[in-house]
Chains A and B, each alone.
Chain A
Amino acid sequence: MSASYALLGILGRRPSYGYDLKRDYDFFYGKEKALAFGQVYATLSRLLRDKKVTVDAMEQGAGPERKLYAITDIGRKDLENWLSAPEKLHPNTQTVLFVKVVTSILLDKDPDVYLDVQRAAHINRMRELTSARRTGDLAQLLQADYAIFHLEADLRWIDITTARLQKLKEEIQSER
């Protein structure tokens, strides 16, 4: 996801300085992947160009000049459209996992071996996330849950593919 909508969301509450935007982004969305200052200002430049945010006020203190950014009506409408629209589903069903399984069969290798290695890697990642959930706050827990359930979907696919391998081998070998 682009950071644009996350920043628009933060500005949707109230106007904010760039520094505060970064701090709020990291707190609400980015504990695992904090936003760099450069990315904050690059995103704000694009939002200014597209008239989705405006500079509400300038503050001259001891340090450099600070700009107070605010969301515009255009920005708020765009944000609301984004919030209410469903995300596009992944159109590609031909996953790398599937390609590896078929390629293994084409080369007379044992796809079971690859699937076992992949299963172990998935469960290892799940173990890391399960462990991280214990020390994180609720937001981190929900993000870890999201990742865990997606890994689980892959694992279900791996299990059912393992169960169907013999049939898949027969089909592929009959076409060679």
Chain B
Amino acid sequence: MSDSGYVLEVKGAEKSFGLTRALQGADLNVKTGEIIAIMGPSGSGKSTLLHCMAGIFQPDKGEVRFAGNSLATMSDEERTTLRRTVFGFVFQFGQLVPELTAEDNIALPLLLNKVSRKDAYFQARKWFKRLGIENMEKHRAGEMSGGQAQRVALARALVIKPKVLFADEPTGSLDSLASEQVMELLIQAAREQGTTVVLVTHDPRIAAYADREVMVRDGKVTTGQHKAKAAR
């Protein structure tokens, strides 16, 4: 963590896609272990902000820091390593590898991180009971419901015990009950592991699981900043 006490810091981030100015000077700080929801209307820039925080996009101007280190000063390879070993990702559609079984999908990030096959599968299998999807280890994505597939995607993101979990509309394709189950699991697992969560959602019921919500409008974070930051 940086001297500032924040695990993630965004300062004056700007990002354009052609003529579209997605971010127009966004500022946001996130404390270690905090669960934060980024809300805002469609096209406000909330997903772009998440992608910049995760090092997937590079801001055109401004800066993103993780644990005090600027992502801009890292090489592509260092950023890729960061995304593979320290960050976890969950998206609206689980994006499981369809040819692989559920346990293959969960073990995959560990295998990519050079964990032994035996240990990777041992750790992957531990998630099935926890997620309430026992006996689905050998199922492929097409053989699972949306809620089950999203739980597998969640396990795949958390199995590496990431420092930060980035979740972009993680329940956007699920009904109310399945959404609730996925969010309860996400929050519980993140708290147990001390994982910081950055959650993008347009749904206030999902935002209500977070410790704090910020509102993004016209590419800027307009409300919900930490008081110390807002006072500056």
A contact residues vs B (CB 8 Å cutoff): 116, 119-120, 122-123, 126-127, 129-130, 134, 148, 151-152, 155, 159, 162-163
Interface of A is mostly: helix
Segment among B83-91, B103-111, B207-215 that sits at the interface with chain A: B207-215
Q: Is the CB of B215 within 8 A of A152?
A: no
Q: Is the CB of B204 within 8 A of A126?
A: yes
* Contact A152 to B41, CB < 8 A, known contacts A116-B222, A120-B224: no
B204: contacting residue among A116, A151, A162, A163, CB under 8 A: A151
Give chain B's interface residue range (CB within 8 Å of chain A): 10 to 19
Q: Number of A-B pairs whose CB atoms are under 8 Å?
A: 34
Task: Identify which of residues 40-86 in chain B touch chain A, using a CB-to-CB cut-off of 8 Å.
Answer: 41
The chain A residue sitting closest to B204, CB to CB, is A155
Set of chain B residues within 8 Å of A151, measured between Cβ atoms:
204
Q: Is the CB of B213 within 8 A of A123?
A: yes
* Bound complex: CA A90 to CA B207 (Å): 28
Per-residue A-contact encoding for B187-213, CB less than 8 Å = 1, 0 else: 000000000000000001101111001
The chain A residue sitting closest to B188, CB to CB, is A134
Is B223 engaged at the interface, CB distance under 8 Å to the other chain?
yes
Q: Which 5 A-B pairs have the closest CB atoms?
A: A126-B208, A130-B208, A127-B208, A155-B204, A116-B223
Set of chain B residues within 8 Å of A119, measured between Cβ atoms:
215, 223
B contact residues vs A (CB 8 Å cutoff): 41, 184, 204-205, 207-210, 213, 215, 222-224
Q: A123-B213, A155-B204 are in contact. List 10 more A-B contacts (CB 8 A).
A: A116-B223, A120-B223, A122-B204, A123-B204, A126-B204, A126-B205, A126-B207, A127-B210, A130-B209, A162-B41
Can you show 17 pairs from A to B with CB atoms below 8 A apart?
A119-B223, A120-B213, A120-B223, A123-B204, A123-B207, A123-B208, A123-B213, A126-B205, A126-B208, A127-B208, A127-B209, A127-B210, A130-B208, A134-B184, A148-B208, A159-B41, A162-B41
Smallest CB separation, B216 vs chain A (Å): 12
The chain B residue sitting closest to A130, CB to CB, is B208
* Bound complex: CA A12 to CA B68 (Å): 66
The chain A residue sitting closest to B180, CB to CB, is A133
Smallest CB separation, A133 vs chain B (Å): 9
Set of chain A residues within 8 Å of B222, measured between Cβ atoms:
116
* Contact A163 to B41, CB < 8 A, known contacts A123-B204, A152-B204, A152-B205: yes
Set of chain B residues within 8 Å of A155, measured between Cβ atoms:
204
Smallest CB separation, A146 vs chain B (Å): 13
* Bound complex: CA A56 to CA B207 (Å): 53
Smallest CB separation, A126 vs chain B (Å): 4
Set of chain A residues within 8 Å of B204, measured between Cβ atoms:
122-123, 126, 151-152, 155
Smallest CB separation, B188 vs chain A (Å): 9
* Bound complex: CA A176 to CA B198 (Å): 45
* Bound complex: CA A173 to CA B67 (Å): 49
* Contact A148 to B205, CB < 8 A, known contacts A116-B215, A123-B213: yes
